[in-house]
């Protein structure tokens, strides 16, 4: 009986061990080599494949970005937009430098008791080249005189035979034309126009401009623009100033959207109201209309003042700032 009991116990142990091995085998069939269930591993593989596709797409996008965009240009653009927003929020404010004395950093500036009433010599410290710029004693009077003289010539009996009515076909003879000139312009139409008196002279021309509604980016002063005015086309880097009355006009660092400013350039003399279109040339060669306006005046003596407001943090609880732009040894 004892032997029979021992056999029964061994059979039960073998049966339990067999069941344990069978269950382990079944469990191993559902497991992968990493110890994770097969279904979960397949999901991980799909996620890795999807993630790899996204990484490839991201690399392609970065490659296209590097190919189509210039990092330096974009960095300059971001810096320009940041400075324009800062200038719009805090106009004319400049932080006092910490490593350089203010009287050295702002040596070219002067303190004004009143921006409107303080006198300023318009010919102070001008370069020698400025002497070749043409100046009118009275621009408006000259403009009226030139137009009246043209109207008077039209009714002059001596000049009447030489006048050509509008829409009349005529033959024009031009002398002193260089050889080979027709070969270069044979495929282009020839345009002739008549100039007013003094329009062949160089002077300081001021245009009143309003930014076009389709252009929403600020334009920095001395930024290169293409001017299309009448029959003339030229590129220049204008400085912007406020459109106000008075003897002095505040320099505008940025031409903000929806603003009206005065753009000052050195250009041939033009009489108002000559319309003008300003284009911004893109890096790909295209042109975008940025502003429209007309000739405001021709005056080399128009004063454009660059104003700054120093800002900083006082070291003590009470600080009195005076003579910040003067040499201390003089007082």
DSSP 37-97: BHHHHHHHHHHHHHHHHHHHHHHHHHHHHHHH--HHHHHHHHHHHHHHHHHHHSTTEEEPP
Is the pLDDT at 149 greater than 60? The verdict is yes
Q: For residue 295, give the 3-state DSSP assignment.
A: strand
**Assigned token pair, 9:** 């116990």
Tell me, yes or no, if the pTM score tops 0.75: no
Has residue 137 got a pLDDT over 50? yes
Residue 293's pLDDT band, with cuts at 50, 70 and 90, is: very high
**Which distant-in-sequence residues (6+ apart) come within 8 Å of 222 by Cβ?**
237, 238, 239
Can you give the pLDDT at residue 117?
A: 80
What is the pLDDT, as a whole number, of residue 114? Answer: 78
Q: Which residue has the higher pLDDT, 222 or 152?
A: 222
User: What confidence tens digit (pLDDT) does each residue in 193-247 have?
Assistant: 778 888 888 999 999 999 998 888 888 889 999 999 888 889 999 999 988 888 8
Which pLDDT value is given to residue 127?
81
C-alpha span between 261 and 245 (Å, rounded):
12
Count CB atoms within 10 A of the CB of residue 123. Answer: 9
Q: What is the mean pLDDT of residues 15-41?
A: 46
Reply yes or no on whether the pLDDT at 101 is more than 90. Answer: no
Q: Are the C-beta atoms of 159 and 294 separated by less than 8 Å?
A: no
């Amino acid at each position: 009986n004892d032997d029979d009991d021992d056999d029964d116990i061994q059979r039960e142990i073998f049966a339990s061990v067999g069941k344990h091995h069978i269950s382990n085998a079944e469990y191993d069939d559902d497991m992968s080599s990493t110890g994770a269930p097969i279904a979960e591993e397949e999901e991980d593989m799909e996620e890795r494949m999807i993630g790899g596709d996204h990484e490839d797409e991201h690399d392609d996008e970065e490659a296209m970005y590097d190919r189509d965009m210039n990092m330096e240009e974009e960095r300059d653009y971001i810096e320009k937009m940041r400075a324009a927003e800062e200038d719009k929020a805090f106009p004319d404010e400049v932080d006092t430098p910490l490593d350089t004395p203010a009287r050295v950093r702002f040596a070219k500036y002067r303190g004004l008791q009143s921006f409107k009433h303080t006198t300023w010599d318009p010919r102070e410290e001008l370069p020698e080249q400025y002497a070749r710029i043409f100046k009118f004693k009275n621009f408006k009077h000259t403009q009226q005189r030139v137009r009246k003289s043209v109207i008077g010539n039209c009714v002059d009996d001596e000049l009447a035979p030489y006048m050509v009515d509008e829409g009349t076909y005529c033959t024009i003879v031009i002398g002193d034309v260089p050889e080979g000139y027709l070969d270069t312009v044979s495929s282009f139409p020839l345009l002739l126009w008549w100039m007013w008196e003094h329009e062949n002279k160089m002077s300081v021309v001021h245009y009143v401009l309003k930014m076009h509604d389709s252009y929403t980016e600020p334009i920095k002063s001395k930024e290169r623009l293409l001017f299309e005015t009448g029959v003339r086309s030229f590129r220049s880097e204008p400085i912007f100033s406020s459109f106000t009355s008075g003897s002095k006009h505040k320099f505008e660092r940025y031409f903000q959207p929806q603003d009206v400013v005065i753009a000052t350039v050195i250009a041939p003399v033009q009489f108002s109201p000559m319309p003008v279109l300003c284009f911004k040339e893109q890096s790909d060669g295209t042109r975008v209309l940025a502003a429209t306006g007309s000739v405001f005046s021709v005056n080399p003596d128009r004063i454009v003042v660059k104003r700054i407001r120093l800002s900083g943090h006082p070291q003590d609880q009470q600080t009195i700032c005076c003579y910040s732009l003067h040499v201390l040894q003089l007082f």
